[in-house]
């Protein structure tokens, strides 16, 4: 299989499993691959990429900027406050805002560079100790302060599917994020939350069935390549 064939397969599955495929965005996760492999992704015409480490995304952004290549970069990993300054100018969406102090730093840096940056609020639906993310009650207590930050635009929610569980449990987790989005939209956001970032290589089909609008796919795209 080639990268192009793998991307085409995922796109076909978006059409197959999502009830609103026109709203779904595929992010090609590049955290395990170098610039040469990324160029093969770009050669297919797909230019929406995601990285999970600030230093790595900075290096890759600079590499492709030097080549004048048009890329929509997403930051999808755990973001430390002291690393926000490295990415604020060049990412389209930060998926993993999981505490008020981080949101405040993003807001401050966005204000300094004169932009309003789109973010997602990360929720730890399954309650795994090894994963980052808001607990719902913590998020609700922070919401007023989050909404008052003028240089961030809260677009929706993100979660990581649980590891080593059955399909039924994974489906429940994704369905719960959909429910949380509905609750937050009704009570706090006047239906302005539109995005749900959920689903990776192993569970993106389930996520699509449950209503994901953004899937973060890495290893699936490089099958037969690496």
One DSSP character per residue, 55-100 reads HHHHHHHHHHHHTT---EEEE-S---GGGHHHHTTTEEEEEEE-SH
Q: What is the pTM of this model?
A: 0.96
Q: Is the dihedral of CA 137, 173, 213, 85 positive or negative?
A: positive
User: 151 and 116 in contact (C-beta within 8 Å)?
Assistant: yes
Q: What is the pLDDT of residue 74?
A: 98
User: Residue 63 and residue 166: Cα distance in Å, rounded?
Assistant: 40
User: Residue 61 and residue 212: Cα distance in Å, rounded?
Assistant: 27
Q: What is the pLDDT of residue 105?
A: 98
Provide the CB-side half-sphere exposure for 20 (13 A, CA). Answer: 11
Q: What is the pLDDT of residue 173?
A: 96
Q: What is the pLDDT of residue 129?
A: 75
CATH fold of 3-222, please? TIM Barrel (3.20.20)
Q: What is the pLDDT of residue 127?
A: 81
Q: What is the pLDDT of residue 96?
A: 97
Residue 197, beta-bridge partner list: 158, 214
What burial class does residue 14 get, using C-beta atoms within 10 Å of its C-beta: 0-12 exposed, 13-18 middle, 19+ buried?
buried
Residue 175, beta-bridge partner list: none
Residues of the chain with pLDDT under 70: none
For 150, the 3-state DSSP assignment is: coil
Q: What is the pLDDT of residue 224?
A: 84
In the DSSP assignment, the letter for residue 189 is I
């Amino acid at each position: 299989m080639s990268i192009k064939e793998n991307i085409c397969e995922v796109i076909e599955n978006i059409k197959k499993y999502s009830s609103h495929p026109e709203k779904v965005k595929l992010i090609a996760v590049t955290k395990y691959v170098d610039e040469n492999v990324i160029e093969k992704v770009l050669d297919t015409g797909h230019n929406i990429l995601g990285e999970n480490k600030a230093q790595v995304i900075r290096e890759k952004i600079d590499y492709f900027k030097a080549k004048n290549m048009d890329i929509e970069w997403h930051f999808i990993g755990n973001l430390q406050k002291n690393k926000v300054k490295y990415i604020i100018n060049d990412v389209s969406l930060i998926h993993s805002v999981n505490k008020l102090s981080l949101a405040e730093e993003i807001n401050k840096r966005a204000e300094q560079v004169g932009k309003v940056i789109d973010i997602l609020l990360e929720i730890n639906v399954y309650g795994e100790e090894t994963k980052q993310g808001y607990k719902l009650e913590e998020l609700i207590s922070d919401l007023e302060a989050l909404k008052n930050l003028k240089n961030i635009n809260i677009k929706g929610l993100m979660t990581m599917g649980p590891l080593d569980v059955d399909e039924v449990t994974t489906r429940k987790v994704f369905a719960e994020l959909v429910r949380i989005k509905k609750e937050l939209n009704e009570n706090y956001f006047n239906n302005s939350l539109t995005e749900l970032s959920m689903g990776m290589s192993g569970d993106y089909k389930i996520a699509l069935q449950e209503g994901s609008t953004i899937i973060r796919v890495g290893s699936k795209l490089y099958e037969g390549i690496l």
